[in-house]
Structure 1
Amino acid sequence: MPHIILIGTLDTKLSEFLYLRSQLQDLSKNSSAPLKITTIDCGRIPTKHEAITISQSDLVEKYGGGDSFDFKASPRGDIIKYMIGCTKACVRELLETDEVHGILSAGGTGGTSLVSAVMREIVPLGMPKLIVSTVASGDTGPIIGETDITMMYSVVDIAGTNAMLRDVLGNAAGAMLGMSIAYEKRMLSQKKLETGENKSRVGITMFGVTTPCVDKIREYLLSNYPVEVFVFHATGHGGKAMERMISESRLDAVLDVTTTEICDHLMGGNMSAGPTRLEAALKRGIPNLISVGATDMVNFGPKSMVPEKYTGRKLFEHNPTVTLMRTTKEECRMIGEFIATKIKDYAKETGNVEVWIPRGGVSIIATPGQVFADEEADAALAEAIKEGLHGSGVKIVEDARDINDPGFAIDMAKSFIKLLYK
Structure 2
Amino acid sequence: MSEARIYVVGTCDTKAAELAYVRGLINAQGVRAVVIDVSTHSHGAGADIEAAEVASYHPDGPEAVFTGDRGRSITAMAVAFERFLSSRADVAGVIGLGGSGGTALVAPAMRALAIGVPKLLVSTVASGNVAPYVGASDIAMMYSVTDLAGLNRISRLVLANAAHAMAGMAKTLPPPSSSDKPAIGISMFGVTTPCVNRLVSLLEDLNDCLVFHATGTGGQSMEKLVDSGLLAGVIDVTTTEVCDLLMGGVFPCTEDRFGAIARTKLPYVGSCGALDMVNFGAQSTVPAQYKDRNLYVHNPQVTLMRTTPEENQLIGRWIGERLNRCEGPVRFLLPAGGVSLLDVPGMAFHDPEADAALFEALEQTVIQTGLRRLIRVPDAVNDPSFADALLDQFRDVMKDV
TM-score range, shorter chain: over 0.9
Report whether the alignment pairs 1:331 with 2:308: no
1:61 deviates by: 4.1
Q: Find the aligned partners of 1:162 and 1:130 in 2 and give their Cα distance.
A: 21
Report whether the alignment pairs 1:266 with 2:246: yes
In structure 2, what residue type is equivalent to 1:378? D
Report whether the alignment pairs 1:78 with 2:57: no
Q: 2:185: which partner in 1?
A: 203
User: Contact (CA 8 Å) 1:8, 1:111: kept in 2 or not?
Assistant: yes
In structure 2, what residue type is equivalent to 1:230? L
Q: Find the aligned partners of 2:319 and 2:6 in 1 and give their Cα distance.
A: 43
Q: 1:400 aligns with which of 364, 378, 401?
A: 378
Q: 2:148: which partner in 1?
A: 158
Q: 1:416: which partner in 2?
A: 394
Contiguous gaps of at least 5 residues in structure 1: 29-34
Q: Find the aligned partners of 1:271 and 1:68 in 2 and give their Cα distance.
A: 39
Q: 1:365: which partner in 2?
A: 342
Q: Find the aligned partners of 1:174 and 1:310 in 2 and give their Cα distance.
A: 49
Q: 2:327: which partner in 1?
A: 348
User: Contact (CA 8 Å) 1:205, 1:256: kept in 2 or not?
Assistant: yes
Secondary structure of residue in 1 paired with 2:278: strand
Q: 1:32: which partner in 2?
A: none
Q: Find the aligned partners of 2:304 and 2:68 in 1 and give their Cα distance.
A: 45
Q: Find the aligned partners of 1:383 and 1:163 in 2 and give their Cα distance.
A: 64
1:47 deviates by: 4.1
Q: 1:10: which partner in 2?
A: 12
User: Contact (CA 8 Å) 2:237, 2:271: kept in 1 or not?
Assistant: yes
Q: 1:182: which partner in 2?
A: 172
Deviations 1:80-129, CA, capped at 9 Å, x for gaps: 012112212221221xxx33221001111111110012212x31121111
Q: 2:201: which partner in 1?
A: 219
Q: Find the aligned partners of 2:182 and 2:272 in 1 and give their Cα distance.
A: 24
Superposition CA RMSD, Å? 1.9
User: Contact (CA 8 Å) 2:283, 2:303: kept in 1 or not?
Assistant: yes
Report whether the alignment pairs 1:284 with 2:264: yes
Deviations 1:47-91, CA, capped at 9 Å, x for gaps: 465x522111222345463363474x6331111012112212221
Q: Find the aligned partners of 1:414 and 1:142 in 2 and give their Cα distance.
A: 38
Q: 1:171: which partner in 2?
A: 161
1:46 deviates by: 3.2
Deviations 1:225-261, CA, capped at 9 Å, x for gaps: 2x11111111001111111111121112110100001
Q: 1:36: which partner in 2?
A: 32
Contiguous gaps of at least 5 residues in structure 2: none
Secondary structure of residue in 2 paired with 1:126: coil
Q: 2:25: which partner in 1?
A: 23
Q: Find the aligned partners of 1:93 and 1:283 in 2 and give their Cα distance.
A: 22
Q: 2:105: which partner in 1?
A: 114
- Does the C-alpha gap of structure 1 residues 235 and 209 become closer, same or farther in structure 2, counting only changes over 3 Å? same
Secondary structure of residue in 1 paired with 2:297: strand
- State how 1:380-395 maps to structure 2 within 5 Å: 380-389=357-366, 391-393=368-370, 394-395=372-373
Q: 1:53 aligns with which of 39, 42, 48?
A: 48
Q: Find the aligned partners of 1:175 and 1:247 in 2 and give their Cα distance.
A: 29
Q: Find the aligned partners of 2:65 and 2:23 in 1 and give their Cα distance.
A: 31
Q: Find the aligned partners of 1:48 and 1:111 in 2 and give their Cα distance.
A: 14
User: Contact (CA 8 Å) 1:201, 1:228: kept in 2 or not?
Assistant: yes
1:302 deviates by: 1.2
In structure 1, what residue type is equivalent to 2:120? L
Q: Find the aligned partners of 1:200 and 1:383 in 2 and give their Cα distance.
A: 34
Secondary structure of residue in 2 paired with 1:417: helix
Q: Find the aligned partners of 1:78 and 1:59 in 2 and give their Cα distance.
A: 16
Q: 1:100: which partner in 2?
A: 91
For these two proteins, the number of residue pairs brought into alignment is 397
In structure 1, what residue type is equivalent to 2:322? K
In structure 2, what residue type is equivalent to 1:340? G
1:10 deviates by: 0.8
Secondary structure of residue in 2 paired with 1:325: strand
The structure in which a higher percent of residues are helix is 1
Deviations 1:186-222, CA, capped at 9 Å, x for gaps: 3xx56xx6xxx73222111000110110010011011
- Does the C-alpha gap of structure 1 residues 62 and 336 become closer, same or farther in structure 2, counting only changes over 3 Å? closer
In structure 2, what residue type is equivalent to 1:405? D
1:320 deviates by: 1.2
User: Contact (CA 8 Å) 2:65, 2:74: kept in 1 or not?
Assistant: no
User: Contact (CA 8 Å) 1:282, 1:288: kept in 2 or not?
Assistant: no
